[in-house]
Chains A and B, each alone.
Chain A
């Protein structure tokens, strides 16, 4: 049983957001699918992607853009998984590549695979993996957790897998208050330990000190709910509006003494992730790079999106770019417009535009060109600039100055990097005006450019004053 019972066919990137070395890599591996069932495996893997990406925050472009999902096709001689009769199973023992079996440790629903075999396949196929999910071709409920998780394809398997990802990939704790079952059980009345490590359960009910204080409204009572009888699970209904973030007693397998941020959450009862858990997922993925989606627009974009009256007045700064060995100086133009007016597509949002202008410069290449521009922009608001469904970046390709467009615009953490490629914005040329939108008002800060000789220049610019906590 094991690797002699099947074949690793290869790997396909079924959600490709960019280079694997800079993305969070989720790997799906097939188990208990015969060669004749590979089409079903491909359907199941695609189903997983579509379902996961329907669960916030995985619905967001900024989250999806940081994730690659790899599908590793592994055939098995047999179909399904071992199902020992000692746990009430069928007694089936199909020959499968990863030796998946129910009844691990005597538990009927604990479905595991040989992790060392999985690791070997991962190392060979996707060495930069962060999270693996072995998908077992069986409709019987079962699964197990960890960075190498296992799931069958029983009803709501993707939702259960999302809960498991909450644990193993994002460090989220269970938000339910029972260990075995409610309403009563012994040993789980009141928590008496120290503060839990996990970001979504806490001892602290302080409005300003709780881990998720930034999401608690001034009008929300703290704690938001208390359990009147710690001998049992709290039977009360949600006392506040759905989605309210506060401190609800009953979490981390204890009826009292530990608090969760929302009444319902994926980590409690398989409902959508609460706002706190969504934030944790976003922050965990922040270090990974994403490529921004750009669209071409005309110079009337501000009127079209932010101020239909056409009276918005821009405010520019343009510090000089001086490159050793070149004659004349270029500039980094940073342009601000007022906040989008009510009723416009960009209502309440702030547009920012940037342009590297090397028109007045002359000098030899490669030194006298600007290759990259980077700055801390923070969260980019996606706006439907051109009626095609939303983009992160607009490029004023018509009616504005400049001719040079970037070859890529990426973001890692809060850092935005605009890459003009080679030679870049060369002496005598200008980049096109590049625009982004933020929910946050401007602040004075600095940007960095690199020239063709690899030198770095720091220049004044304007960027959103996004919160850093």
Chain B
């Protein structure tokens, strides 16, 4: 039995779609300590606890009642700007906006029997659901 699901998302601008979910036999990396909102290995008693309010994106796995059963923060998945090398050796990076950002990103989540949906959320000052997607087999439909 596969230990994980690899979710494949595509984005165009700020619009995100789940385009695939494939079972994969691998170990999921652990959460860095201090990385708030991460729930790999979250004890059962804390599974529905409110995640810490932290700036950034995360993916939640939801059961049939819409209750979160897993949560995973994401390194900024939407590349609207690019980190590029500068000529300053002391500050070797700078940022430039990307015209018409589009791309694909991948998220590993545990293969949980009760998982029915995944949601992509973004927190700035408050948390917004960017998209909510039915989980199935193989290629998925778009988000809501």
CB-based nearest A residue for B37: A197
- Size class of the B contact interface (CB-based, 8 Å): 35 or more
CA distance A202 to B36 in the complex (A): 11
Chain B contacts for A144, CB-based, 8 A: 79, 82
Of B61-69, B93-101, B112-120, B129-137, which stretch is located at the interface? B93-101
CA distance A130 to B106 in the complex (A): 9
Chain A contacts for B83, CB-based, 8 A: 145, 174
A179 contacts the other chain (Cβ, under 8 Å)?
Answer: yes
CB distance from A150 to the nearest CB of B (A): 11
Chain A contacts for B52, CB-based, 8 A: 195
CB-based nearest A residue for B77: A146
Q: Which of B30, B36, B104 contacts A116 (CB 8 A)?
A: B104
Chain A contacts for B98, CB-based, 8 A: 104-107, 110
A284 adjacent to B29 (CB under 8 Å): yes
CB distance from B59 to the nearest CB of A (A): 12
B140 contacts the other chain (Cβ, under 8 Å)?
Answer: no
B91 adjacent to A24 (CB under 8 Å): no
B85 adjacent to A160 (CB under 8 Å): yes
- A110 touching B91 in the complex, CB below 8 Å, given contacts A130-B29, A286-B30: no
B39 contacts the other chain (Cβ, under 8 Å)?
Answer: no
A24 adjacent to B27 (CB under 8 Å): yes
A128 adjacent to B124 (CB under 8 Å): no
Q: Which of B55, B58, B99, B100 contacts A196 (CB 8 A)?
A: B55
A194 adjacent to B35 (CB under 8 Å): no
Q: Which of B25, B91, B101 contacts A182 (CB 8 A)?
A: B91
Chain B contacts for A193, CB-based, 8 A: 55, 124-125
CA distance A109 to B92 in the complex (A): 13
B43 contacts the other chain (Cβ, under 8 Å)?
Answer: no
CA distance A127 to B35 in the complex (A): 27
A284 adjacent to B32 (CB under 8 Å): yes
A283 contacts the other chain (Cβ, under 8 Å)?
Answer: yes
Chain B contacts for A105, CB-based, 8 A: 82, 97-101
Interface flags, A196-219, vs B, CB<8A=1, else 0: 111100100000000110000000
User: Chain A CB within 10 Å — which of B93, B100, B103 has the most?
Assistant: B93
Chain B contacts for A25, CB-based, 8 A: 26
Chain A contacts for B79, CB-based, 8 A: 144-146
A146 adjacent to B105 (CB under 8 Å): yes
Q: Please provide the chain A residues from 401 to 450 with a CB less than 8 Å away from any CB of chain B in the complex.
A: 413
A127 adjacent to B24 (CB under 8 Å): yes
CA distance A160 to B53 in the complex (A): 31
Chain A contacts for B27, CB-based, 8 A: 21-24, 287-289
Chain A contacts for B89, CB-based, 8 A: 269
Chain A contacts for B91, CB-based, 8 A: 176, 178, 181-182, 233, 269
A147 contacts the other chain (Cβ, under 8 Å)?
Answer: yes
B36 adjacent to A119 (CB under 8 Å): no
A171 adjacent to B75 (CB under 8 Å): yes
Q: Please provide the chain A residues from 136 to 170 with a CB less than 8 Å away from any CB of chain B in the complex.
A: 141, 144-148, 160, 167-170
Chain B contacts for A269, CB-based, 8 A: 89-92
A92 contacts the other chain (Cβ, under 8 Å)?
Answer: no
B82 adjacent to A110 (CB under 8 Å): yes
User: Chain A CB within 10 Å — which of B25, B53, B82 has the most?
Assistant: B82
B29 adjacent to A181 (CB under 8 Å): no
Interface flags, A279-311, vs B, CB<8A=1, else 0: 110011111110000000000000000000000
CB distance from B44 to the nearest CB of A (A): 18
Chain A contacts for B32, CB-based, 8 A: 170-172, 199, 280, 283-284
CA distance A130 to B91 in the complex (A): 29
B28 contacts the other chain (Cβ, under 8 Å)?
Answer: yes
CB-based nearest A residue for B25: A21
B86 contacts the other chain (Cβ, under 8 Å)?
Answer: yes
Q: Please provide the chain A residues from 15 to 34 with a CB less than 8 Å away from any CB of chain B in the complex.
A: 20-25
CB distance from B46 to the nearest CB of A (A): 17
CB distance from B77 to the nearest CB of A (A): 8
Chain B contacts for A168, CB-based, 8 A: 75
Interface flags, A331-372, vs B, CB<8A=1, else 0: 000000000000000000000000000000000000000000
Interface flags, B1-30, vs A, CB<8A=1, else 0: 000000010000000000000101111111
Chain A contacts for B45, CB-based, 8 A: none
CB distance from B4 to the nearest CB of A (A): 9
Chain A contacts for B30, CB-based, 8 A: 283-287, 413
Chain B contacts for A176, CB-based, 8 A: 91, 93
B123 contacts the other chain (Cβ, under 8 Å)?
Answer: yes
B108 contacts the other chain (Cβ, under 8 Å)?
Answer: yes
B25 adjacent to A128 (CB under 8 Å): yes
A54 contacts the other chain (Cβ, under 8 Å)?
Answer: no
CB distance from B50 to the nearest CB of A (A): 14
7 A-B pairs with the lowest CB-CB distances in the bound complex, closest first: A105-B98, A211-B34, A197-B56, A128-B26, A197-B54, A280-B32, A199-B32
- By a beta-carbon cutoff of 8 Å, the part of chain B in contact with chain A is 8, 22, 24-37, 40, 52-56, 58, 73, 75, 77, 79, 82-86, 88-101, 103-106, 108, 123-125
- By a beta-carbon cutoff of 8 Å, the part of chain A in contact with chain B is 20-25, 104-107, 109-110, 112, 115-116, 119, 123, 127-128, 130, 141, 144-148, 160, 167-172, 174, 176, 178-182, 193-199, 202, 211-212, 233, 253, 269-270, 279-280, 283-289, 413, 469
Offer 26 A-B interface pairs, CB within 8 angstroms, sorted by A: A21-B25, A21-B26, A21-B27, A105-B82, A106-B99, A107-B84, A110-B82, A110-B84, A127-B24, A127-B25, A141-B85, A146-B103, A160-B85, A167-B75, A169-B29, A171-B75, A176-B91, A178-B94, A194-B54, A194-B55, A194-B123, A195-B52, A197-B73, A211-B34, A269-B90, A280-B32
